[in-house]
Amino acid sequence: MSNSKIILVTEASEGVGPLIVGALAHGGHIVYAAVDGCTGSASRQAVRFRSYAAAQGVDVRPITLDPTADRSVGSASRRIMREMGRIDAVIHNGMQPIFGPAEAFLPAQLATSYDRSILGAQRVMRAILPHMRHRSQGLVVWLVSSASAGGAAPYLAVHCSIAAGLDAMAVQYARELARWGIETSIVMPGLFGELTNPFRDALRPEDTERVVEYEAGPNRGLGDAVRSAGLQLVSNDDVPGAAAGAVAMIVDTPFGERPFRVHVDPAQDGADVAASVMDRIREEMIRRLGFADLLEPHHAEPQASGDGMPPVPSRRPS
């Protein structure tokens, strides 16, 4: 179809990833579904995506992409460019639920989680953005847990810190890419019954001795109580299909009309209120500094050479 876009979905087999891939593919887009070549299940994930594409009559192409390895990310980017000649959109879906006393997480665990989520996103951006900037067009969609701004339960310190880091990256990248004609949207899924739920299936601390100390002291039973309370906030029937639908809606919305944030949160943790306040304060500072034009993307002329100079922005048609 004429409006078909070439889209990369990172961590496509994790959490809401398969739903996003399906929603985009059924919208007529060509979807590269990234699977981690370092995991033993990568080949099975690739087979599932191929089988899904064949059964549904859609264009889903599994692609090996280990977000912790520069070489793997670069190879995936080059393959897409070789096959399609462009990358229209990238969907960041790279955050694993994490639950437990902050002290009980080994520094190495945090380093691994930050490497996969925060640095992984940076690796993807460094591989994809040069192609988008050369064409002076593109779309970056970030899936960021509502825990980055909303009310959060105890034992979610690591989870919240990664979510907040991704949100900060998304906001700052949006400003830096506006003059290049590259648009940014942030989708904030909250708690769901089966997926994206740190109270159900999450990375746990490896320092079990510290966990035992917490459970034997004043915090006895707190972990189980928090998990139980968290699970009661939502129904097991809740699935993040609305989050996938939000991504598809953003992709299909014309340039300049896309929402900066979309909240999809059955638990209603207040992230919609907090994020709107933070965004307003940030926008006010940008205006005070004299860079109001960075608050929305501009149509820009494609780069004719590799001189690295930014394109001259033009006003969006009214």
How high is the pLDDT of residue 203? 87
Q: Which residues contact 8 (CB under 8 A, 6 or more apart)?
A: 32, 34, 63, 65, 76, 80, 87, 89, 90, 91, 124, 128
Beta carbons of 67 and 162 less than 8 angstroms apart: no
DSSP H/E element including 184: strand 182-189
Instruction: Specify the DSSP class assigned to residue 98.
Output: B
How high is the pLDDT of residue 304? 61
Burial class (CB in 10 A: 0-12, 13-18, 19+), 159: buried
- Measured CA to CA, the distance from residue 24 to residue 4 in angstroms comes to 10
How high is the pLDDT of residue 309? 42
- Measured CA to CA, the distance from residue 66 to residue 13 in angstroms comes to 12
What domains are there in the chain, each with its CATH number?
Answer: 6-302 (3.40.50.720)
Q: Tokens in use for 140?
A: 């970056």
pLDDT tens for residues 42-100? 788 999 999 999 999 999 999 999 999 999 999 999 999 999 999 999 999 978 889 99
pTM given for the model: 0.90
How high is the pLDDT of residue 236? 58
Give the Cβ contact number of residue 259 at 10 Å: 13
Instruction: Specify the DSSP class assigned to residue 203.
Output: B
How high is the pLDDT of residue 221? 94
How high is the pLDDT of residue 308? 46
- Measured CA to CA, the distance from residue 120 to residue 10 in angstroms comes to 9
Residue ranges for the chain with pLDDT beneath 50: 305-318
Q: How many whole angstroms from its chain centre is CA 139?
A: 12
Give the Cβ contact number of residue 234 at 10 Å: 20
- CA torsion, points 254, 264, 110, 90, in degrees to nearest 10? -20
- Measured CA to CA, the distance from residue 114 to residue 66 in angstroms comes to 14
Beta carbons of 316 and 256 less than 8 angstroms apart: yes
Strands 313-314, 299-300: pairing kind:
antiparallel
Helix ranges (DSSP H) in the chain: 17-26, 42-56, 70-84, 107-114, 120-135, 157-177, 208-216, 222-232, 241-252, 271-288
